[in-house]
Each structure stands twice: as structure tokens, then as C-alpha cells.
């Protein structure tokens, strides 16, 4: 249990880095956003936000959730946290920040159409989408994995890759969840290491490796694999029979926000129909059911 806490603490300490300068037309405010969204998605999100809020200037800085939390921990230690608003991988990270008094409640947030499980009961953070982690593989693979345990088998030796939990929030969450299961536990990751699994900086690096054939199998978030497949990459994606972990990419306002009104406007956009439709167009499963479901999920549902 001590090892679980130590790695989870390190993972949570590595996740918040995206700065956004937000300037309403009437006043020169600067909104600082820390986000773990992929670069292209973060840029799209900011562009759409700016279009919906004329006169706002946005500057982005982003990284993996665990990496961002490490940066934020250093800022806390220095007494100068920079972000006004966070958009990061998982609710576990948000719960840690909430417990430490780092998040501001936003009771006025419009949650019509969202399920209660999609947001914090105290309304300090709000899930924006659902992202699962499964197994991606190159279409030239000799074996087609169906179980998490397959990756520890002889046929997969030296062929697998995953994002580092010290960088990726989704990977950190998966690690902590697996460690708590009797059928997986720490032994599972030790077996993967013994079988030659490679850990890299983030999900993007995993996708690139599997798509190129450098590695044949990868532990990867769903939307990246499905978007790549849609664009013609030789990738398939599996939801292992034992189940998958899921993160909600919640958005939250810092209790130390210098521009809370601007931060609320950003939260409003993420939760709006427009913001949820944007998530859908990026290949995600939106947190608001009425926004729709991505094509890849509908195909997967029909095939099961």
C-alpha cells in the first residue's frame, strides 16, 4: 500500500501546465489555464472559446496531468500558484486538490442534462467527457489481445509500450486502479516490465510508436486510437474483457484564481452545448449525453 501511495503521489505531482491569457473586451484580464489536453485539442478548445467570447486573448501552455501537478506543487511551495482554471485528466487528482483547499466551488454552474456522477457534489470540479484506457495494436500484429494479461505473455515479449504514470494522468489512474485488484495488482506491472514493456512520456508517444510499427501493442486512451484509425493509421483498439479504467477530464477553478469571473466563463464554455459538441467533434464521448456519441463508439456498440 505504501508503494501505491508513493507512486500515486508522484503521479499526481506531475500534472498541470497550460497557460491561457484571457482578456475580455471591457477589461484587460489574464486567464491562466493549465491543461493536459493534447496540443491540437487544446488549441481547438481555446480557439472555440475565443470565438464564443470576442475580444478574449488566449495563451496556452500544456503538459501531461502528472507533469502539471508536479509544476503546481512547486508553485504551491513557492506561494505563487499561477493557474486560474484547470482542465486535467482525472477526478482523483481534483479530489486531492479539493482536500487541500485548492479548488473554488462554482454552485452556479449550469449542469442541466449532466448526470450527478459527472461532477463533484460540492461543485468544485466538473467532468467534461469520458476517456477510457485500453489496448491498441498495429494491424500487422500476429496476436490479437483480448485480456490485459495477454500483454505479459511470451508472444508479446518486447512488443508493448505504455505512457508513464509520472506524466499521464490516465495512466496514473489506471495504475492505481489495477494495483487495487486481486486479479492484477503490482504483480501485473512487474510481469509487464519483465516482459520488456517500455514506458514513454505520454499517450501521444504510444500512439506514434504503435502506428509506425516500432512497437506492436500499446496501452492507450480510446479517442487517440480511434481518431488515428479513422485517419487511416494501421491501428485497432480493444476494450479488454476484464474492463477498462475511465477518466473524466474535469474542469475546475482554483481557489487562488486571480480572475475568477473569467475562469467561470471558461467552465461555462466547457459545459455548454457548444463545448460538449466540440468534444464530440474531437472524437471524445461528451459528459452530457444529449451532445451525442462519437462514431467509433456507436460502431463498437453495434459490434458487441
- Checking 139-143 for CB contacts under 8 A at 24+ apart, the result is 139/234, 139/235, 139/236, 140/213, 140/216, 140/234, 141/216, 141/217
The pLDDT value recorded for residue 29 is: 62
The pLDDT value recorded for residue 300 is: 54
The pLDDT value recorded for residue 297 is: 77
CA distances from 213 to 117, 139, 168, 216 (A): 38, 9, 22, 6
Give the mean pLDDT per block of 10 residues along the chain (304 residues).
Answer: 36 32 43 93 93 79 91 96 95 96 98 96 97 97 96 98 94 94 94 97 96 97 94 96 95 95 94 97 96 80 42
The pLDDT value recorded for residue 12 is: 35
The pLDDT value recorded for residue 27 is: 42
The pLDDT value recorded for residue 59 is: 74
The pLDDT value recorded for residue 50 is: 87
The pLDDT value recorded for residue 211 is: 97
Cβ contact 55:35 at 8 Å? no
The pLDDT value recorded for residue 298 is: 59
The pLDDT value recorded for residue 275 is: 98
The DSSP call for residue 55 is T
Cβ contact 127:270 at 8 Å? no
Entry pTM: 0.84
Domains of the chain: 2-128+249-287 (3.40.190.10), 130-246 (3.40.190.10)
Sequence-distant (6+) residues with CB within 8 A of 221 are 131, 132, 133, 170, 203
Residue 302 three-state SS: helix
Q: Measure the CA–CA gap between 283 and 296, rounded to whole angstroms.
A: 8
Amino acid at each position: 500500500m505504501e508503494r501505491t501511495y508513493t507512486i500515486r503521489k508522484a503521479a499526481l505531482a506531475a500534472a498541470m501546465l497550460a497557460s491561457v491569457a484571457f482578456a475580455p473586451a471591457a477589461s484587460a484580464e489574464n486567464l491562466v489555464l493549465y491543461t493536459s489536453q493534447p496540443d491540437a485539442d487544446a488549441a481547438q478548445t481555446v480557439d472555440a472559446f475565443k470565438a464564443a467570447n470576442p475580444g478574449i486573448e488566449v495563451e496556452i501552455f500544456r503538459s501531461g496531468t502528472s507533469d502539471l501537478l508536479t509544476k503546481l506543487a512547486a508553485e504551491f511551495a513557492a506561494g505563487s500558484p499561477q493557474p486560474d482554471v484547470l482542465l486535467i485528466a482525472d477526478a482523483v487528482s481534483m479530489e486531492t486538490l479539493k482536500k487541500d483547499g485548492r479548488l473554488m466551488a462554482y454552485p452556479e454552474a449550469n449542469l442541466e442534462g449532466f448526470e450527478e456522477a459527472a461532477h463533484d457534489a460540492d461543485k468544485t470540479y466538473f467532468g467534461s467527457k469520458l476517456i477510457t484506457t485500453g489496448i491498441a495494436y498495429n494491424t500487422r500484429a500476429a496476436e490479437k489481445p483480448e485480456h490485459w494479461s495477454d500483454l505479459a505473455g511470451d508472444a508479446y515479449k518486447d512488443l508493448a509500450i505504455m505512457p508513464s504514470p509520472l506524466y499521464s494522468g490516465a495512466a496514473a489512474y489506471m495504475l492505481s486502479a489495477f494495483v487495487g485488484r486481486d486479479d492484477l495488482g503490482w504483480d501485473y506491472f512487474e510481469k509487464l516490465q519483465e516482459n520488456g514493456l517500455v514506458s514513454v512520456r505520454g499517450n501521444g508517444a504510444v500512439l506514434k510508436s504503435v502506428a509506425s510499427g516500432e512497437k506492436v501493442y500499446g496501452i492507450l486512451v480510446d479517442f487517440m486510437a480511434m481518431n488515428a484509425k479513422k485517419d487511416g493509421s494501421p491501428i485497432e483498439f480493444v476494450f479488454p474483457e476484464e474492463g477498462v479504467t475511465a477518466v473524466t477530464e474535469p474542469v475546475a477553478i482554483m481557489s487562488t484564481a486571480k480572475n475568477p469571473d473569467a475562469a467561470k466563463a471558461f467552465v461555462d464554455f466547457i459545459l455548454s452545448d457548444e463545448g460538449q459538441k466540440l468534444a464530440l467533434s474531437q472524437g471524445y464521448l461528451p459528459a452530457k449525453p444529449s451532445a451525442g456519441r462519437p462514431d467509433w463508439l456507436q460502431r463498437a456498440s453495434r459490434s458487441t
